[in-house]
């Protein structure tokens, strides 16, 4: 939105507030709804057997869920703390017959880092898959960059190599660029992701870059940081961003804490590039979940998240309340 237009709308809203009328009421814009857990959880994946790479301390963490061309449901999770060396992370795959079915079938190790392509050993992080025009696009982190792979069946993925012979799309502006997710909006690809730094005012933040062709990407947009979700501020207070569009709002799920005390903060905004930096104007609530991904299937909403003890992945129905 043009800067002058944005300023005019803010001024109009301020004038209405002085007159006792809200901006939302005057423009007939509905209020956002708040996501709530709408059913008991069912577990779809546990801590997998990785053969010689299994480690008693390993943990399934950031993951992606999608439906393949044959109708089966696919789950890839980053398993950290394995015996694969380097940063100890790799991707494991499960397959399910339905999003509502428990205990999906473990299908083995799906991908490991390839140092010959510039990926850091054991550095694979946080896959996310988006289906567009018959092609499944997977973005993932390699502990320093966002990378790309794709598939024509939703099961078998091949890295997309750039002119430098590597699968990287971009990195920065903070370190440990990670946790990407894709969204289509206005004919563009939007890639939300996070990074960390060792200095204030923000140790962690959610960024977004845009692209028309998945090859050339814009400079990073600073879309969310600080606020109550950064109390206390840590390098991990803006992780695992997940954005979905619903009824004229863009909803951001932003993670702060893993484990038994899991916390995820949600925001709602009409602007997919602005969920609040240094303020909580768009904050609508929190959920006691970690690294959630939202799945929409047959008009039903589901939320997938990590088990509290980081020993598997679970799913529940997602509801919406005023």
Mapping DSSP onto H, E and C, the string for the chain reads: CCHHHHHHHHHHHHHHHHCCCCHHHHHCCCCCCEEEECCCCEEEECCCCCHHHCCCCCEEEEEEEEECCCCCEEEEEEEECCCCCCCCEEEEEEEECCCCCCCCEEEEEEECCCHHHCCCCCECEEEEEEEECCEEEEEEECCCCEEEEEECCCCCCEECCCCCCCCEEECCCCEEEEEEEEEEECCEEEEEEEEECCCCCCCEEEEEEEECCCCCCCCCEEEEECCHHHCCCCCCCCEEEEEEEECCEEEEEEEEECCCCCEEEEEEECCCCCCCECCCCCEEEEECCCCCEEEEECCEEEEEEECCCCCCEEEEEEEEEC
Question: In this structure, what token pair is assigned to residue 237?
Answer: 């207070």
Q: What is the pLDDT of residue 292?
A: 98
**CA 273 distance to own-chain centroid:** 15
Phi first, then psi, for residue 13 (nearest 5°) are -60, -40
Q: What is the pLDDT of residue 45?
A: 98
Q: What is the pLDDT of residue 30?
A: 82
Per-residue b or e along 67-104, where b marks 16 or more CB atoms closer than 10 Å to that residue's CB: bbeeeebbbbbbbbbbebebbbbbbbbbebeebeeeeb
Using CA atoms, how far apart are residues 226 and 234, in angstroms rounded to an integer?
A: 10
Q: Over its length of 322 residues, how does the chain's per-residue pLDDT go in tens digits?
A: 333 333 333 333 333 333 333 334 444 668 999 999 999 999 999 999 999 999 999 999 999 999 999 999 999 999 999 999 999 999 999 999 999 999 999 999 999 999 999 999 999 999 999 999 999 999 999 999 999 999 999 999 999 999 999 999 999 999 999 999 999 999 999 999 999 999 999 999 999 999 999 999 999 999 999 999 999 999 999 999 999 999 999 999 999 999 999 999 999 999 999 999 999 999 999 999 999 999 999 999 999 999 999 999 999 999 999 9
Question: In this structure, what token pair is assigned to residue 9?
Answer: 């709308």
Question: In this structure, what token pair is assigned to residue 210?
Answer: 């845009």
Using CA atoms, how far apart are residues 89 and 197, in angstroms rounded to an integer?
A: 21
Q: Do 214 and 167 meet the contact criterion of CB atoms below 8 Å apart?
A: no
The residues near 154 (Cβ < 8 Å, ≥ 6 apart) are: 66, 67, 68, 69, 70, 74, 129, 131, 136
**CA 209 distance to own-chain centroid:** 14
Residue 222: how many other CB atoms lie within 10 Å: 15
Phi first, then psi, for residue 12 (nearest 5°) are -60, -45
Decide the pairing of beta strands 300-306 and 59-67.
unpaired
In order of their start, the domains of the chain are: 32-321 (2.115.10.20)
Closest CA to 243 of 225, 220, 262, 266: 266
Question: In this structure, what token pair is assigned to residue 93?
Answer: 């795959």
Q: What is the pLDDT of residue 29?
A: 66
């Amino acid at each position: 939105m043009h800067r002058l237009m944005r300023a005019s709308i803010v001024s109009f809203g301020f004038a209405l507030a002085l007159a006792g009328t809200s901006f939302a009421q005057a423009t007939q814009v509905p209020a956002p709804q708040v996501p709530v857990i709408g059913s008991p959880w069912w577990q779809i994946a546990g801590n997998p057997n990785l053969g010689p790479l299994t480690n008693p301390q390993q943990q399934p963490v950031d993951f992606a869920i999608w439906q393949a061309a044959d109708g089966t449901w696919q789950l890839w999770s980053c398993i950290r703390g394995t015996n694969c060396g380097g940063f100890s992370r790799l991707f494991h795959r499960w397959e399910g017959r339905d999003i509502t079915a428990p205990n999906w079938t473990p299908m083995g190790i799906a991908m490991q880092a390839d140092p010959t392509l510039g990926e850091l050993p054991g550095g694979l992080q946080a896959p996310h898959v988006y289906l567009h025009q018959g092609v499944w696009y997977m973005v993932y982190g390699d502990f320093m960059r966002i990378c790309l792979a794709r598939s024509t069946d939703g099961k078998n993925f091949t890295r997309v190599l750039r002119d430098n012979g590597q699968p990287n799309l971009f990195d920065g502006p903070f370190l440990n660029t990670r946790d990407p997710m894709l969204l289509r909006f206005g004919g563009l690809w939007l890639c939300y992701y996070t990074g960390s730094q060792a200095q204030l005012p923000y140790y962690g933040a959610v960024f977004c870059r845009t692209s028309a062709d998945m090859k050339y990407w814009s400079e990073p947009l600073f879309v969310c940081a600080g606020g109550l979700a950064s109390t206390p501020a840590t390098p991990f207070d803006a992780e695992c961003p997940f954005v979905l569009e619903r009824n004229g709002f863009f909803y951001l799920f932003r993670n702060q804490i893993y484990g038994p005390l899991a916390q995820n903060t949600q925001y709602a905004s009409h602007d997919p590039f602005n969920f609040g930096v240094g303020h909580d104007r768009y904050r609508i609530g929190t959920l006691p979940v970690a690294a959630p991904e939202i799945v929409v299937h047959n008009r039903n909403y589901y939320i997938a998240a990590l088990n509290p003890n980081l020993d598997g992945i679970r799913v529940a129905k997602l509801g919406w309340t005023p």
